[in-house]
Structure 1
C-alpha cells in the first residue's frame, strides 16, 4: 500500500471546506480566552468528525464515480480517479470507506454524547443528523441512484452541509443557544461560498461530466450560466457578510471584509474571463478555498476586538 496515493485520494485541498463553518461558529460563540478554552473540546471533536466525513465523501466519490466510468467505458482524458486508474483497488477503497464510516460515527457520537444528559430529544435529533450526514457522504456518488449525479442536488447538499448545518449545528453545541438571526445569515453566506467551490469544480469537469451523463448545473445550463451563477453566489455571500457587520457595528470587521470582498470580486472577474481552461479553473478553485479562509477570519477573529 502506497501511503502517498491515499493522501492524494483524500483531496487535501477540499478538507479546509469542512471546517470553515465550524470555525466561524466557534469564533462567534467565544469572546475571550476562557470561553475558547471552554468550547475547545467540542471544537476539536467537531473538526475531527467533519474531516472524517469529508474524507469519507471523497473516497466514496472516487469509488462511485470510478464504477460508473468503467460501466460507461469511455475513452477520454479523465480527472484522476484512483480506483478507475487501478492505483487503489476497489476492494481496498471499499474497506477504507467502511473504516471511515465507523470512525465518523464514533467521533460524532463522542461529540454529541454530553447532550444526552441535558436533553434526550435534542441528543437523538443530533444522532439522527449524524447518521444522515454519514449516509449522505456515501450516497453522493455511490449506489445505483447517487444524488450527486442529479442536477442541482450536489449544489443543494453542499449548501446545506457546509453552510447551514455546519454553522448552525456546531453553534448550538458550543454554547447550547439557539442561533440568532445574525448567525443564520452567516450560515447562508458560508453555504453560498462553499457551493461556489463545487461550481468551479463542475465547470472544470464539464466535458467529462457531460459524456458520463452527470447532470450538474453546469452540464444542464452551460458554462456561461455557470459563470453568472457563480458571481451571484459570491455577491450574495459578500452582501450577507456586510449585513452581519452592519448589525455588529465593528470597524475592524468592516475594513477586513472590504479587502476580502475586493479579492472575491477579482476572483469572479477571472472566472468570467476563463474560457473552459481546466488549469486556470483549478487555480481559481484553490484561490477561492484560501479566500473563504480569509472571509472566516475577517468576520470571526475580529469578534474579539
Structure 2
C-alpha cells in the first residue's frame, strides 16, 4: 500500500470504490428519457427522480461488483493500468466490498418497487435483469465481460432499457423518439467500455479475459470506438430526416469539439493515460445527452 493511500479516510476509500467519474454515464440516459417525456407533455417528477437514483445505484453496484470479482478471479494484478481498485489495493476486504455491493443493490431494488408500482411488471423484470447483469458482468460462473458480451449488455441497459424505461415510467407508453433517443446513449456509453477494454487489452489477454477488444485486437478496437461515436452523431440526422424531430435536434452536434481530442487519444495513447480518455468519453455521453435533450425540447416548444 502506497503512502498516498495509507492516509485515506473511510469515506475517501468508499469514494474511490464507487468510482464517481463513471457516474455521468448513468445520468445521461435518464436525462434524455426525462427530457423526451417533458417534450411530449408526459413528465412526472417522482418517477423521474427514482429512475435517476436507480440508475446511479446500479452503476455504483456494478463498479463494486467489478472491483471485488475481478480481484477474486485474479484479474487485478500489479500491472493494472486502470483506476485504483480498493480490494486489490487492500483498502477494503472482499467481504466489505460484497456487503457494500449488496446494500447498494437492495436500495436499487427498493426504489425499483416504486417504479414497478408506477410502470407495472415490465419495469420489475427489467430491474431484476439489470441487477443480475451488473453482477454477472464479472461475477458468477460465466462472467459476461470475460466472454466478449460486455459491449452488447452495456448497449442494451444504458441505451434502450435506461432511456425507454425512464420515459415509460413517466408516460405509460413509448414513443418513436424515445426508441431513437436511446440509441446514441447506448452507443456512447458502450464507447466508454471500449476505451476501458482497449486500455486493459494487454493485461486482459495475459490473464485470459476474452473481451471484445482482446478478440478484435488493437486496430479493430479503435475502429469500434470510432464507429460507435459516429453512429451516435448520425442519429439526430436520421431523426430529422424521418420527421421524428425538428432541426433543433442538431444541438447535439455542438458536442463535436469534444470528440476530436478523444479520437487523437485513441490513436496515440495506451495504458494509464487512457484513463483520461475514458473519463472524457463518459463526459461526452453526458454533454451529448444534455444537448440532444435541449434540442428536442426546443423543437417541441418553439
Q: Provide the residue aligned with 1:76 in structure 2.
A: 79
Q: Provide the residue aligned with 1:97 in structure 2.
A: 101
- CA distance change for structure 1 residues 91 and 124 in 2, over 3 Å: closer, same or farther? same
1:180-199 to structure 2, matched below 5 A, reads: 180=176, 182-199=177-194
Residue 137 (structure 2) aligned to one of 118, 135, 140: 140
Q: Which runs of 5+ in 2 are unaligned?
A: 1-8
RMSD over aligned Cα atoms: 2.1
1:201-256 CA distances to partner (integer Å, 9 max, x unpaired)? 111111221111111111111111111111111111111122223425634432x3
Match status 1:150 vs 2:133: no
Contact 1:267 1:288 in 2 (8 A): no
- CA distance change for structure 1 residues 234 and 178 in 2, over 3 Å: closer, same or farther? same
Distance in structure 1 (CA, Å) of the matches to 2:275 and 2:184 = 22
My pick for the range that moved more, 60-69 or 94-103, is 94-103
Q: Which has the higher contact order (CA 8 A, sep 6+)?
A: 2
Q: 4+ residue runs of structure 1 moved beyond 6 angstroms? A: none
Compute the displacement of 1:277 (Å): 4.2
SS in 2 for 1:133: helix
Compute the displacement of 1:131 (Å): 1.3
Compute the displacement of 1:31 (Å): 3.2
Residue 214 (structure 1) aligned to one of 192, 202, 209: 209
Q: Provide the residue aligned with 2:272 in structure 1.
A: 278
Distance in structure 2 (CA, Å) of the matches to 1:127 and 1:25 = 18
My pick for the range that moved more, 94-103 or 6-15, is 94-103
Q: Provide the residue aligned with 2:295 in structure 1.
A: 302
SS in 1 for 2:142: coil
Contact 1:231 1:268 in 2 (8 A): no
My pick for the range that moved more, 106-115 or 223-232, is 106-115
Match status 1:11 vs 2:19: yes
SS in 1 for 2:175: coil
TM-score, normalized by length of structure 2? Answer: 0.88
- CA distance change for structure 1 residues 28 and 208 in 2, over 3 Å: closer, same or farther? same
Match status 1:231 vs 2:233: no
Distance in structure 2 (CA, Å) of the matches to 1:73 and 1:8 = 16
TM-score, normalized by length of structure 1? Answer: 0.87
Match status 1:250 vs 2:253: no
- CA distance change for structure 1 residues 229 and 271 in 2, over 3 Å: closer, same or farther? farther
Distance in structure 2 (CA, Å) of the matches to 1:25 and 1:124 = 19
Distance in structure 2 (CA, Å) of the matches to 1:8 and 1:75 = 17
Match status 1:62 vs 2:56: no
Distance in structure 1 (CA, Å) of the matches to 2:88 and 2:192 = 24
Distance in structure 1 (CA, Å) of the matches to 2:156 and 2:89 = 32
Q: Which runs of 5+ in 1 are unaligned?
A: 116-122
Contact 1:185 1:244 in 2 (8 A): yes
Contact 2:47 2:118 in 1 (8 A): no
